[in-house]
Amino acid sequence: AEPLQQQLRNSQKGNHHLNWSRGCTDAFEILKKRLTNAPMMNTPNFEQPFILELDACEYGVGAVLTQEYEEKKYVIAYASRTLSTAERNYGATERGALAIVWATKHFRPYLEGNKIYVRSDCKALEWMRTAKDVTG
């Protein structure tokens, strides 16, 4: 993954021009294969709860459907999409909520009728979950 890490280091130093090489392509293909095959990915176990791990940024939302049992974490599926022009105007809280709604719809065949946990780094959504009165 070193060629990809070098691209990130360059962009963090202010150089936003990618210098994509054959090494970058090879590293990307290796990572893609490892992230989408066993032991990283697994078939769903409908006896275990599902975990939706979510993230949202200014231009997109992403979700990873996982399960944790037998002291291991299993990836069931990945999903992401870009935000529409209108959605890009949403604040962080709205984007976080959008990620939950979108991912729940996207993974509905897995989630319906099963126990679900949601993991998100959106602090505003955490506040809404624990607030006694969210209406103000």
Distance CA 45, CA 113 (A): 13
Q: Is 47 exposed, middle or buried (0-12, 13-18, 19+ CB in 10 A)?
A: exposed
What is the per-residue pLDDT for 53? 96
Distance CA 24, CA 22 (A): 5
pLDDT digits (tens, 9 = 90+) for 93-133: 899 999 999 999 999 999 999 999 999 887 767 766 676 66
Q: Which domains does the chain have, with CATH numbers?
A: 1-35 (no CATH), 40-130 (3.10.20.370)
Residues 6+ apart with CB under 8 A from 94: none
Model-wide pTM > 0.75: no
pLDDT digits (tens, 9 = 90+) for 51-76: 999 999 999 999 999 999 999 999 99
CA dihedral 125, 104, 52, 96 (to 10 degrees): -30
